[in-house]
Amino acid sequence: MGAPPPIVVGVVDRLERLTNLIALLLNAARPITLDEIVMSIEGYPKEPETRRQAFERDKRLLRDEGVPVETVHVDDGKAAYRISSDEYYLPPLDLSEDELVALNLAVAAVHLEGGRGSEALWSLGDAPAEALPPLAALPVIDALPALFDGCRRRAAVSFSYRGQTRTLEPWGMFFREGFWYVAGRDVDRSEERVFRADRIQGDVTVGPPAAFDRPETFDPQQVMPEQAFRMAMVEPTLVDVEVDAPHAAAATADAGGEEAVIDRRPDGGVTLRIAVANPDAFRSWIFGFLDHAHVVAPPAVRTRFVKWLETMAQ
């Protein structure tokens, strides 16, 4: 069987070469070897070793960008390559007119850095809404594409977090309290953990696909409780908080109900005992009550709160 016909003639730059490579691997009826690729696409060096190195760089770049370039071995043992259209293309969403309108309004109301929301709408075949004042602005986090790719492909991901290398089987991604989180099984610790995406340091490495199965018992509502301070970022610490009467009912509900109440004052105020597994989220929660809530115990936690406030005041 001969090589696929050439699709490009003339001198090409790397971007054009990559574009043609994607088209070739997507449309090929079978996996094709490097020799067949360089016969079909111009731009690769003539020297065999330099040509292979250039192709390896191209392949690595495409994979880093989420293009699922697969390597298979043909009958003679040579490596051959392909891109599965099922893995590459977004499946039809079949959105109704009302759903497209709702999606358009959401993109207009929430601004993503780089205009990626508008690009997504164009990809779905719909024009973005006219410019409107955004209700919220979300930063783009470098780790997100790789984390989502790991979730989609059921591939383990490795990254540096708080100075330690972690390997995670990502079961799901969630957005809560203004932050992205990834939840799954920490391979080295053999237990379920949650990591905040913006605190991942450096690059995220995505392993081979179909490496694990998400547990049928996985429940996002349990992994991501309504209050972020319950999410397991560190070992939980019991913290006592006094809340003034006007906010006692709301704080009690956030803390988990009446079981969290350890004291009720005659004026209606309460003291709550809360298991805090995410100190940053807990700090954001308690400061939401302004001067109507404060930490009373343990002393070490109260001291940290006081020092944080003093630093902010300076």
Of the options 2.40.10, 2.30.30, 3.90.1200, 3.30.420, the CATH number for the domain spanning 144-221: 2.30.30
Q: What average pLDDT score do residues 31-41 get?
A: 89
Q: Please, what sign has the CA dihedral across residues 76, 77, 81, 86?
A: positive
Give pLDDT tens digits for 278-311. 777 777 777 778 778 888 888 888 888 888 777 7
Sequence spans of domains, the chain: 14-88, 97-138, 144-221, 237-313
What is the pLDDT at residue 8? 40
pLDDT at 41: 86
Does the domain spanning 14-88 belong to CATH 1.10.10.10? Answer: yes
pLDDT at res. 307: 81
pLDDT: which is higher, 57 or 10: 57
Average pLDDT estimate for 3-23: 65
Q: Which of 240, 246, 244, 223 is nearest to 299 (CA)?
A: 240
* 300-301-305 Cα angle (round to 5): 115
| CB distance 159 to 166 below 8 Å | yes
Q: pTM of the prediction?
A: 0.45
The tens digit of pLDDT for each residue in 81-95 reads 999 887 777 666 677
Residue 55: which of 45, 65, 64, 66 has the closest Cα? 45
Residue 268 has pLDDT above 70, yes or no: yes
User: Would you say residue 6 has pLDDT above 50?
Assistant: no
Q: What pLDDT score was predicted for residue 225?
A: 55
Collapsing DSSP to helix, strand or coil, 37 comes out as: helix
Report the side by side order of strands in the sheet with 32-33: 32-33, 79-83, 69-73
> What mean pLDDT, rounded, does the chain reach?
78
CA distances from 46 to 24, 38, 54 (A): 20, 9, 11
